[in-house]
Structure 1
Amino acid sequence: MMPGLQYSLFLFFCLTSCQESPASQSCLNKQQLLATVRQMQQFLKGQETRFVEGIRHMKHRLTTLQNTLTKAAPEPQAVFCPVLEVPLHGKKFGTKNMVDHEVHFICNPGFQLTGSSSRMCQPNGTWTGEATQCKGVSECTPHFCQNGGTCVNEGEQYKCICSKDWTGSNCQYQTQTVPPTWSVTNDPGFSRKPRCAKFDHMQQCSCEAGFHMSGTSENSICQDVNECKVYKLEGAPGLCMHTCINIPGSYHCSCPTGYRLFSDGKSCEDIDECVLLLHNCTTGTMCINTGGGFQCVNPECPKPNGNVSYVKTSPFQCERNPCPMDSRSCHYAPKTISFHYLPLPSNLVTPTPLFRMATASAPGRPGPDSLRFGIVGGNSRGHFVMQRSDRQTGELILTQSLQGPQATQVEVDMSEYLGRSFQAKHVSKITLFVSAYEF
């Protein structure tokens, strides 16, 4: 044990013993005790300083050891693959040639890629796949020109020089001396002179698109192909939704009055005269758009009958006035009558849901626990059925197609019951405007 520490411990024991026996003659006086306390404080401070320096020295030794071990391990060297060149007549995407990086290739139009379109740098410094090349593609291949035709390259396109008695872009049609039924022969505006050229001392002729060659090889003529008639003969879908009009070398579509040609050039879409303000409905009437036209309507409430009378609460709804307490007929009369107008195409595929009725409870009032739906009027009742689609909803379904143009009406009702007690009845009067067209 260090001498300073022994002396300090001796003073500490003396101090504690004097505190326990203040009357002892061997105890130190006050001045001696204060000096002893100061000496103990200095001793402890010195011990603390030496302890902190020891910790700092230990940390420094550990850091030095760690740095020595780290420098001893060699760092791995980065692996690179050889730079891949851009193929002639092609393009390369990707510039990095480090491990796990990819490079992609494409060829310019008219050239075909051989080898690998994508390659990846591997850890051993080589690329996956095979070398990439872009080879020229000839537009002429044996299957392009048929029936002995000769293919001639023209830049990035080709042209077939057909042998005798054959015509068409690929020589796929046989030249006819008698015009086919779908050719236009009685109008000079639908005929063209063929384009002819000599090839290997032979004259070869062809027609423009939309024309068909007929006649003999010495006296041939290009006559218009009536595309509208061709598609009908072949049973293919019509070229036009409504009317196909043949023109020299082509065709165009037209739509009936009240429709306009859609952006695809063959479909027809209805013109909404009501939205575009193209109608002539007077004040007090409502414009209803229909297929190819419009209708002006002004639905009216039923006239008063006994205790039953109605008031118009909106342009398309009437509500029954309050009933006398003892009027059973008024209580069973429709509480509301609504009017609905639906445009339909002709010959609509069936079955098709057309209309729905549903009930809604007023806040704070119990709703009906059962509903009954039915068809109660109209002039085409055999074309419809009314059935429940869920607990609170009924659907009017078209079961037989309607042929247009015509307007037909059907009336449906919904009766509400609470328990077995009748609560109210609601009637919807539906008018269907069936177009003359199936679109």
Structure 2
Amino acid sequence: SLFFLTASLPLFVCASEGCQSACLLCVSYSIELIESSAVCPFRSVPQSEMLSLPNHFVLQNNMPLSASPSSSIFWMCCDCCLVGKAAQEQGLPCDHSLSMGYQCGLVSRACCVHGDSDNQTQPGITSQPECGGGLLTCFGGLLGKCAHVCEGNNTCACFKGHKLKPDGRSCEDINECLLGVSNCRAGERCINTEGSFRCQREVSCGTGYELTDTNNCKDINECEAGIHNCGPELECQNTQGSFRCVPKVKCGPGYLQDALGSCIDINECVIQTSPCLRGQVCVNTAGSYTCRANVLNCGRGYHLSDDGTRCVDVDECKGPEKVCEGHGCVNQLGSYRCECETGYSFNSITRLCEDINECRHYPGRLCAHKCENILGSYQCSCTTGFKLAADGRNCDDLNECESNPCSQECANVYGSYQCYCRRGYQLSDIDGMTCEDIDECALPTGGHICSYRCHNTPGSFHCSCPVSGYTLAVNGRSCQDIDECVTGTHTCGENQSCFNVQGGFRCLSFECPNNYRRVGETRCERLLCNESVECLTMPLRITYYYLTFPTNIPVFTNIFRMGPSHTVSGDDIQIAITSGNEGGFFRTERMPTGGVMSVAKLISRPQDFDLSVELKLRRYGSVTTHLAKVLVFVTQEEPRVPYNPLLE
């Protein structure tokens, strides 16, 4: 190691002023290590060397320096200082990159920068006597408190490249690069280091070169470094910035050396022109060749000449085999070539003209729709709904409607067509072209198209009504009742009155009972009673009323009202159905001015009712009875026949 080489130097070499300053730095650093229980990384001086120290290397308490934990540090600092002085004497840069550690590097650079430390003093450090005097002063004063150097007047100072911090003890590095006090040349970059700086090239040296400590580019010897890629048969020779591989073995006659350094036999029979005499054949051997009597064995494409001395080319184009099969044939030495027709290409392996699949070679460029390869050419075709254009490549829309594919109407669209039907028809779900009649009567809403009966016709429909009693309305769908009494189509006699009902009529007539006389078309009045009690209890009037309404009329619907022409305070009115309501379909209800008759339960089928409704009026102590004969004709709600397509 570095310290081993310097261990034999005189122990008093550090007595110089420059080394003394460096030693103070190391000793101060060692005390800090001891206080923090750190392990000192430096070497120790043998005990025999410590005992031979001069007397002035003794602490104030008369303890020898060898007993001090920092004694080995002191002599290590001298070694580091010697390295710096040696670098200065040989003209090497003080910022050398030896692996000495941080503290040793500081001491080495400090001694190198000073030069002859015996005749110079660092800025900021007061001159002191030999190691003994100054060292004792610092040990008794601020040693261990100053980061670098303790001066005789108990003040701290720093080595070159450092400056004292405001606390008066610590030192910090001066960034020469930041202050611009470096001496780096153009093309070099200043890099700050602890206590100094160094200049480094800004541009790299390039492949095959490396940067040295002197900031110069030096060739890398790849051969010595073992980073070449020469094979086992080749030898590495270094060149500036690179290397080259040369064969280790020189090939003899008849061999040729390849790029890998191997020796390859030269086939003299091939590279030389007629190496043997006429009638001889050349046979290649390892490193040479021999000539033998010619026994010709002509290869493919040749045949033996008539004199048997040479091989003559065979003209395959004139042979019976027809090698090119209809294409042009060109004879060549030992072979032939086919000049293929358009749409074919020559296969050099099979030596045949093969069809060119233009559709595969030029996809999407030959045909607008579909391309089909054929021998020697291709042909285009179109998809359904198009026809090939005159140029044989593009496709025009085909008007399918010209061939009348639809049963009714046809609309041409691009690439296709669309069939549609007239009103009352719809397209078949099977072929999409045939128009089928729409059975409007069978549609979900068909039951509401006609009020009575629906008749389907091709493309349309019509409605009908019952044979008698109804006629078709103007809208052609509803059935209207015929008032036979108005039109005079009834069959009532002279003594009968005609009463129209839904879908028909009734012929009505009545006779007044005994002791009553007719006073109108529908009323009978009682004759005088001559104070007979039986006569007085009979109705004063009998009135005939005719009502008609359809089946399923809502329950509680009022259908008849009766009462006196005027009312008097104190009137007592009673109303009741006296006959004809055996089924209980009707009921009466008393009102303030009379009474009403309403539907009591649903009447679901047509039927006639002959009701007698009696109203009794008690006024001023006498009772008067009025009788209403109500004829009710309940007709079919609305005639309707369910649709049956089988009956149409």
TM-score, with structure 1 as normaliser: 0.49
The structure that has the greater radius of gyration is 2
TM-score, with structure 2 as normaliser: 0.34
